[in-house]
Amino acid sequence: MDNSTVCRIEHVTSHYTTEDDTQKLVLDDISLDIRRGEFLAVLGRNGSGKSTLAKHLNAILLPSGGKVWVDGMDTTDEELLFEIRRRVGMVFQNPDNQLVSSVVEDDIAFGPENLGVSREEIRARVDEALEAVGLTEYKDRSPHMLSGGQKQRVAIAGIIAMRPDVVVLDEPTAMLDPKGRDEVMETMMLLNKGIHMTVVLITHFMEEAIMADRVCVLSDGKLALSGSPASVFSEEETLQKLGLTLPPAAAIAQGLRKEGYPIPKDCLTMDALAKAICPYLKEGFPCSH
Amino acid sequence: MFTLNHVSYSYKADSPVRAQALSDISLSIKKGECVGLIGHTGSGKSTLAQILSGLLTPTSGTVSFEDTPLFIKNKFNRALRGQIGLVFQYPEYQLFEETVLKDIAYGPMNLGATQSEAFHKARTAAQLLGLSEEVFDKSPLQLSGGQKRRVAIAGILAMEPQVLILDEPTAGLDPEGREELLKILKNLHKSTGNTTILISHSMDFVAGFTERIIVLNRGSLWMDGTPQEIFSDPEKLKVAGLAPPPVSELFSLFGFPVPPVFTAEEAVSALLPYMHQGGGSVCK
């Protein structure tokens, strides 16, 4: 595994035993390399194996078959567990379940404290993490008094303070209002583009997936589709079979194509779509775009 | 159906950490109406839902249900028990029985129905939510996320409430699950004629389902109108921390008046009058 790959998932299968003693396959021979510094979105129906896959990235779950490597370390090696968990941090759906302290900065310090980091170093890391998520002015507040989006950013800051190589976020915006969702997405982009952290985002929102460098789609535990957002979202028929929808801009573009306007399939954002529509606007509607 | 007069609610009203969640809400909801309730996190939506279902007593103000007071001496009027059904967020976490049907029948049994009555009501409710016979004897834990949620909603419906209040029914569901639930809830409203109140952060979901939207902002009533009226004022929504459904953003980008569009198809129809064939286009 060369240095550009931070996590390698190698022919991983995962199953669990149901009540009536039958084996249920959740991941079915998945191979995937996560590249250092990339922003990877993982899509798929409920039950397609997304969260199970995520939990394999920091040894919360171990593969039934195949191997998962994190920075070259085998996740089944118990002696490396600490190192692996330090490198891959996870953020879950419900912010209320992830906050442990009654003061924001204490909450963020909890992770590095457990790693045995020195006091001065913790102070520095907490300040840096607060700044990265834009919550410096809230450091003395109680997390319970914050909005959903702010709470989720506290949870993300707690992970950043552990200085992981990879942050895995499992539907971090599912419980948030539109503003909270935007805040969390902005924070994720900042982590990825600003401090080059590898981000793995599991989501049901197509408009979030279009911001990623690469999109993977799981279906029945298999890797069904993988590629740039533009290439994945141009596979309109396949997407439908996989239970996914088009991002809003792409859906409008598709509708316009049916009306005879050759709007390209790679218009994924409203800005891009607006640009593509401009040449077709009637006179009297000058396109300032 | 509901009339609220100057309703306010504070958590820990008698302590120094008093937090006002709702202030001076007056509104009425008609029988059979389908209402969306939207607002930022902490705007008071869930508090209002809990007041309407009798779980929280307002700190001040009155609420009546079909001319009967909802609260008597600061307590829920027990005569109205079972009339108002509230489906909490992530209701599938509350499933506990051995089989799907038993779980759904738990509510009516609690309200005093005989076992056979309760099971009859459970079957009817399950069918209304599109759950097939095959799952009736399964453990609720064996079902998919979308199915579990429908079992939980059926459990409320089996009590045959006159009002159904749903708090974030689509959170965490995949696009298909959201679409399916929207269809089922629409049909449900049509066939039962229930008064339905839907709380959601998903603007397209609310817009696709309701005839009227109530917007809360920091505990106060901010807007009240048809989806068309509400979503054609993006500026006012923005102040409340909200935005119109994503497809309507395109119109703001062009500086066009924002039409009441909620789906991609509607957006296309609204765009066509501005467009002409010919011209070239490049995207990226």
Q: In chain B, whose CA is at the least distance from the CA of A17?
A: B142
Beta strands in chain B (DSSP E): 2-11, 19-29, 34-39, 60-65, 68-69, 71-72, 75-76, 84-87, 163-167, 195-199, 212-217, 220-225
A271 min Cα distance to partner chain B (Å): 8
Sheet holding B84-87, edge to edge: B84-87, B163-167, B195-199, B34-39, B212-217, B220-225
Which of B168, B171, B203 comes nearest A178 by C-beta? Answer: B203
Provide the sign of the torsion angle of the four alpha carbons B65, B158, B142, B173, taken in this order: negative
In angstroms, rounded to a whole number, what is the distance separating the alpha carbons of residues B260 and B231?
Answer: 6
Q: How far apart are the first and last CA of chain A?
A: 46
The distance from CA B80 to its chain's CA centroid, rounded to whole angstroms, is: 20
In angstroms, rounded to a whole number, what is the distance separating the alpha carbons of residues B139 and B127?
Answer: 17
Interface contact flag, A176 B41, Cβ < 8 Å: yes
Contacts of A273 in chain B (CB under 8 A): 250, 283
Residue B53 clears pLDDT 70, i.e. is over it = yes
pLDDT at B15: 81
Amino acid occupying residue A146: L
A11 min Cα distance to partner chain B (Å): 26
Residue B154 clears pLDDT 70, i.e. is over it = yes
Tokens of residue B20, six digits: 């006002």
Interface contact flag, B275 A179, Cβ < 8 Å: no
Which of B174, B256, B268 comes nearest A259 by C-beta? Answer: B268
A269 CB within 8 Å of a chain B CB: no
In angstroms, rounded to a whole number, what is the distance separating the alpha carbons of residues B52 and B46?
Answer: 10
Which of B241, B249, B256 comes nearest A270 by C-beta? Answer: B249
Interface contact flag, B276 A174, Cβ < 8 Å: no
The three-state secondary structure class of B169 is: coil
A239 CB within 8 Å of a chain B CB: no
pLDDT at B35: 96
Interface contact flag, B278 A280, Cβ < 8 Å: yes
Instruction: Give the tens place of pLDDT for each residue, A16-42.
Output: 877 677 888 999 999 999 999 999 999
Amino acid occupying residue B202: S
Give the pLDDT band of residue A289 (cuts 50, 70, 90): low
Contacts of A174 in chain B (CB under 8 A): 171-172
The distance from CA A86 to its chain's CA centroid, rounded to whole angstroms, is: 18
Interface contact flag, A276 B282, Cβ < 8 Å: yes
Instruction: Give the tens place of pLDDT for each residue, A188-203.
Output: 999 999 889 999 999 9
Interface contact flag, B41 A204, Cβ < 8 Å: no
**Chosen from B150, B283, B284 to mutate, greatest number of chain A CBs within 10 A:** B283
Query: CB–CB of A6/A34 below 8 Å?
Result: yes
The full set of domain ranges for chain A reads 5-246, 247-289
Return the axis-axis angle of helices B115-128 and B100-110, rounded to nearest 10°.
Answer: 120
The distance from CA B152 to its chain's CA centroid, rounded to whole angstroms, is: 14
Contacts of B146 in chain A (CB under 8 A): 46
Query: CB–CB of A136/A199 below 8 Å?
Result: no
A282 CB within 8 Å of a chain B CB: yes
Cβ neighbours of residue A1 closer than 8 Å, sequence gap 6 or more: A8, A69, A72
Amino acid occupying residue A77: D
pLDDT at B279: 57
CATH of A5-246, one of 3.60.20.30, 3.30.2320.80, 3.40.50.300, 1.10.3720.10: 3.40.50.300
Burial class (CB in 10 A: 0-12, 13-18, 19+), A59: buried
- Going by C-alpha positions, the residue among A255, A287, A248, A288 that lies closest to residue A269 is A248
In angstroms, rounded to a whole number, what is the distance separating the alpha carbons of residues B13 and B58?
Answer: 10
Instruction: Give the tens place of pLDDT for each residue, A223-271.
Output: 999 999 999 999 989 999 999 999 999 999 999 999 999 999 889 999 9
In angstroms, rounded to a whole number, what is the distance separating the alpha carbons of residues B69 and B45?
Answer: 21
Interface contact flag, B281 A249, Cβ < 8 Å: no
B113 min Cα distance to partner chain A (Å): 31
**Chosen from B199, B275, B277, B282 to mutate, greatest number of chain A CBs within 10 A:** B275
R_g over Cα of chain B: 21
Distance set, CA B193 to CA A95, B31, B35, B187, B188 (Å): 36, 9, 13, 10, 8
Which of A255, A288, A289 comes nearest B265 by C-beta? Answer: A255
Contacts of A262 in chain B (CB under 8 A): 281
pLDDT at B108: 94
Residue B39 clears pLDDT 90, i.e. is over it = yes
Instruction: Give the tens place of pLDDT for each residue, B78-101.
Output: 999 889 999 988 888 888 899 999
Instruction: Give the tens place of pLDDT for each residue, B177-202.
Output: 888 888 999 999 998 899 999 999 88
A134 CB within 8 Å of a chain B CB: no
Q: Strands A39-43, A214-219: parallel, antiparallel or unpaired by DSSP?
A: parallel
Cβ neighbours of residue A96 closer than 8 Å, sequence gap 6 or more: A151
A243 CB within 8 Å of a chain B CB: yes
Element of type H or E holding A84 = helix A81-87
In angstroms, rounded to a whole number, what is the distance separating the alpha carbons of residues A235 and B60?
Answer: 56
A44 CB within 8 Å of a chain B CB: yes
A179 CB within 8 Å of a chain B CB: yes
Residue pairs spanning A and B at CB distance below 8 A:
147
Burial class (CB in 10 A: 0-12, 13-18, 19+), B259: middle
Instruction: Give the tens place of pLDDT for each residue, A107-133.
Output: 999 999 988 899 999 999 999 999 888
Query: CB–CB of A190/A213 below 8 Å?
Result: no
Give the pLDDT band of residue A168 (cuts 50, 70, 90): very high
Which of A206, A274, A279 comes nearest B250 by C-beta? Answer: A274
pLDDT at B280: 53
DSSP for B116-130, written as a single string: HHHHHHHHHHHHHTT
A276 CB within 8 Å of a chain B CB: yes
pLDDT at B131: 92
A80 min Cα distance to partner chain B (Å): 33
- DSSP 8-state symbol, B55: S
Could you tell me which residues are beta bridge partners of residue A273?
none
Element of type H or E holding A42 = strand A39-43
A220 CB within 8 Å of a chain B CB: no
In angstroms, rounded to a whole number, what is the distance separating the alpha carbons of residues A87 and A159?
Answer: 10
The three-state secondary structure class of B234 is: helix
Residue B271 clears pLDDT 70, i.e. is over it = yes
Contacts of B234 in chain A (CB under 8 A): none
A78 min Cα distance to partner chain B (Å): 31
Amino acid occupying residue B63: V
Contacts of A171 in chain B (CB under 8 A): 172
Instruction: Give the tens place of pLDDT for each residue, B55-71.
Output: 999 999 999 999 899 99
Q: In chain B, whose CA is at the least distance from the CA of A267?
A: B283
pLDDT at B9: 95
| ipTM given for this complex | 0.77
A91: number of Cβ within 10 Å? 21
pLDDT at B284: 44
Contacts of B251 in chain A (CB under 8 A): none
Instruction: Give the tens place of pLDDT for each residue, B172-181.
Output: 888 888 888 8
| Mean confidence (pLDDT) of chain B | 90
Backbone angles phi, psi at B101, to 5 degrees: -65, -40
Give the pLDDT band of residue B171 (cuts 50, 70, 90): confident
